[in-house]
Amino acid sequence: MKDRFSSHHGVLIVNKPPGPSSHDMVYRLRSLLGIQKIGHAGTLDPFASGVLVMGVGQGTKILEYLQHQKKTYRMVLRLGLITDTYDCNGQVVEEREVRFCPEAIREAASAFVGGYAQVPPVYSAKKVQGQRLYDLARKGKIIRMPPKNVEIDRIDVLSIQGADVTLEVVAGEGTYMRSLAMDIGYRLGTGATALSLVRLKSGAFTIEGALELWEQSSKELLIQSLLPIETALSDFKRIYLSEADVLKVRNGNQVYAFFPTTGPAGMYSDLSFEKDELLLACEQTGKPVAVLRAEVNGSFAASLANRSLNRRIATLVKVFGVM
């Protein structure tokens, strides 16, 4: 595939519909833009919809930072219904009528706030020896993964209609909402299945600002909707480099003590960073140059520069090409 728009880089916030997989959305965007280098942060199951963060061109280099962010979901689960995939696309294993008072359901859901050791579903995108669990499961090779600690900040019970319970959940990276649905059901002694799932928010990106990705979507609109890398990494502290230092970094040199330069509209480098913090090194125009990891804190870096001590203050993590 020829990258006709390969000069375009950034992050696209897409509203994935139910049906296609997250990788199907990657193929769709590659076809629409004619760009091969496209990826996504934070997998959404085929039955799920909502915010899918996609990287284009050099925007793929920052996806690992975006997928670590907290996510907000709205999920409808049905108590008493158990499927092999823990969602509505699976084969029904058991179904029975259940009755619970609302308070019992709220107590069961709240028990998972703060986090717990969660077992991933046997049908998932996790890999074992290079193969996806769902591919192995479809071949009859069921592999039980060890539990993994997940963080859950909040679970709100929005409504209860018979056996159907609507939740809003704020969770950390790697939390399987299908497993959470089943675990809430198990706590009530019935099991449960996720009927629908919408990701409302991923980090700072919300469903209200997400783009619908149709087969007839305009290439121009998609390109106009790309968020620049520096915007997508808005929570990274910036240091602005001189033209000479920009060239050194792009040639693979580490970052040594420097006199902070100004960025766009007279903005100064943010020297409030701590040791080991990830930083965004930028040109004086604000364009990203590299992601760095600080080896010292910002005040010590400034003192080194003031004393003209040529000591390394940060190491390169990722370097961006000229954009």
Sequence ranges of the domains in the chain: 10-68+204-229, 71-199, 236-319
Instruction: Enumerate the β-bridge partners of residue 232.
Output: none
Tokens of 50: 């909502």
The phi-psi region of residue 250 (left if phi > 0; otherwise alpha if psi is between -120 and 50; otherwise beta) is alpha
Tokens of 53: 């963060």
Is 236-319 in CATH node 2.30.130.10?
yes
Domains 10-68+204-229 and 236-319 share a fold: no
Residue with structure tokens 């591919």?
A: 135
Which superfamily does 71-199 belong to?
Pseudouridine synthase (3.30.2350.10)
CA nearest neighbour of 293 among 284, 310, 281: 281
- CATH for 10-68+204-229, options being 3.30.2350.10, 3.40.50.2300, 2.60.130.10, 3.40.50.1980: 3.30.2350.10
191: DSSP letter: -
Please identify every residue annotated as catalytic.
45
Residue 248, SS3 per DSSP = helix
Residue with structure tokens 């790697």?
A: 174
The b/e string for 153-191 (b: 16+ C-beta within 10 A; e otherwise) is eebebeeeeebebbbebbbeeebbbbbbbbbbbebbebb
Are the CB atoms for 197 and 49 separated by under 8 Å?
yes
Task: Give the global pTM.
Answer: 0.87
> Which backbone phi and psi does 110 adopt, to 5 degrees?
-65, -20
250: DSSP letter: H
One pLDDT digit (tens) per residue for the chain, 323 residues: 444 445 789 999 999 999 999 999 999 999 999 999 999 998 899 999 999 999 999 999 999 999 999 999 999 999 999 888 899 988 898 898 898 999 999 999 999 999 999 988 764 444 445 554 444 335 444 445 578 999 999 999 999 999 999 999 999 999 999 999 999 998 999 989 999 999 999 999 999 999 998 877 899 999 999 999 999 999 999 999 989 889 999 999 988 876 566 677 667 889 899 999 999 999 999 999 999 999 999 999 888 877 877 788 999 999 999 88
